[in-house]
Amino acid sequence: MTGAGGWRGWRAAAEAALYGPDGFYLRPEGPAGHFRTSVHASPLFAEAVARLLCRVDEALGRPASLDFVDMAAGRGELVTGVLAALPADVAARTRAYGVEVAARPAGLAPGITWLPEPPPQVNGLLFANEWLDNVPVEVAEVDSAGVPRLVLVRDDGAERLGEPVSGAEAEWLARWWPLPGEEGLRAEIGLPRDRAWAAAVSRVARGLAVAVDYAHTAEARPPFGTLTGFREGRETSPVPDGTCDITAHVALDACAEACTPAHTPERPLLLRQRAALRALGLAGARPPLTLASTDPAAYVRALAGAGEAAELTARGGLGDFAWLLRPVGIPHPLVPDASAAE
């Protein structure tokens, strides 16, 4: 609900700006027209996810039907790439789903089911790449008296402080992002993301759920939050008018504790993307120079692949993404090399 003067909380404003009738995620160019994710950086990312799906397949005992669910599927780039990278015998058993608020993209393979929410039961891999950062949240800011208050915003991006944070949102702040009484400090209240992740994991009967996002943990919360916007490849001020993406980093440690399926002894695993991808065989090493003389074309291809792998695992870039892995009814299918974790 919008209050007098058009003021409302960031959660409602971002929800309308991103997913409303004229929302950013319904625009014809799709997310790829405004920002570049790991999926768009290189097909090596989809190949690594395909290898992870194969590991889940083995852990499940190679079932007759194997699910792959691509959350926030954009225009189907990841689910298409994963299917193309699977061995033929696994691809033949895979039921693929793209979950997205936008309409089914033209030209998408007919074997991919397109849904507005995940299927009710998943036996396989549910993969959420840069989904949770676009689940809208409220923003809190400390006032001159040291009290955290909700930040209200208008469609033009102007802000002012509203009522003190209360109820479940205040409890979440106290537990996950306690704000010192210094005026101007800010936090994003991640409770809707915890609930969204718990709801997604609840759909997994057996298998693995993975969330990949820029993230932070309790030891290093950003003092002024991370709310920002992206438009046409550039970071910009977050203005909730439907013309730009509105995003904020995710408190993935809170998401990790939001769901603990009783039927699996495995705990969630939280690690950097560089560690996850290296554990899936993405090394990024330069090819030997001897290959340049024996097979120049192969050397050029290998060199290009090494560059793409380096981008996906780079410190200060895509390699800093966090992966949250939640196995359900199976052992962890990915055991990272501890030396690659940081």
Q: What is the pLDDT of residues 120-149, one digit of tens each?
A: 999 999 999 999 999 999 999 999 999 999
In this prediction the pTM is: 0.89
Pairing relationship of beta strands 138-142 and 122-129 according to DSSP bridges: unpaired
- Does pLDDT of 244 surpass 70? yes
User: Cβ(68)–Cβ(127) under 8 Å?
Assistant: yes
Strands (DSSP E) found in 20-158: 66-71, 94-99, 112-115, 122-129, 138-142, 148-153
Three-class SS of 156-214? CCCEEEEEECCHHHHHHHHHHCCCCCCCCCEEEECHHHHHHHHHHHHCEEEEEEEEEEC
Cα–chain-centroid distance for residue 20?
20
Strand arrangement of the beta sheet that strand 66-71 belongs to: 112-115, 94-99, 66-71, 122-129, 204-213, 322-328, 269-272
pLDDT in tens, 81-122: 999 999 999 999 999 999 999 999 999 999 999 999 999 999
Q: Which of 40-49, 117-126, 179-188, 309-318 has the lowest mean pLDDT?
A: 309-318
User: Cβ(8)–Cβ(152) under 8 Å?
Assistant: yes
Average pLDDT, the chain: 88
Spell 3-22 as b/e; 16+ CB within 10 A means b: eeeebbbbbbbbbbbbbeee
pLDDT in tens, 36-70: 677 876 788 999 999 999 999 999 999 999 999 99
- pLDDT number for residue 302: 45
- Does pLDDT of 341 surpass 50? no
User: Cβ(204)–Cβ(71) under 8 Å?
Assistant: no
Amino acid at 203: R
- Does pLDDT of 286 surpass 60? no
- Does pLDDT of 2 surpass 70? no
Please give the torsion angle defined by the CA atoms of residues 237, 242, 243 and 244, in that order, rounded to the nearest 10 degrees. 50
**Whole-number Å distance between alpha carbons of 38 and 45:** 6
User: Cβ(38)–Cβ(313) under 8 Å?
Assistant: no
**Whole-number Å distance between alpha carbons of 173 and 151:** 14
**Whole-number Å distance between alpha carbons of 180 and 189:** 15
- pLDDT number for residue 311: 74
More confident residue, 37 or 262: 37
| Backbone phi and psi for residue 212, each to the nearest 5 degrees, phi listed first | -125, 125
**Whole-number Å distance between alpha carbons of 280 and 289:** 25
CA distances from 3 to 153, 239, 288 (A): 10, 17, 64
pLDDT band at 29, cuts 50/70/90? low
- pLDDT number for residue 259: 78
Q: Helices in 23-126 by DSSP H: which ranges? A: 38-41, 43-59, 77-85, 88-91
At 23, is the secondary structure helix, strand, or coil?
coil
- pLDDT number for residue 339: 46
- Does pLDDT of 72 surpass 70? yes
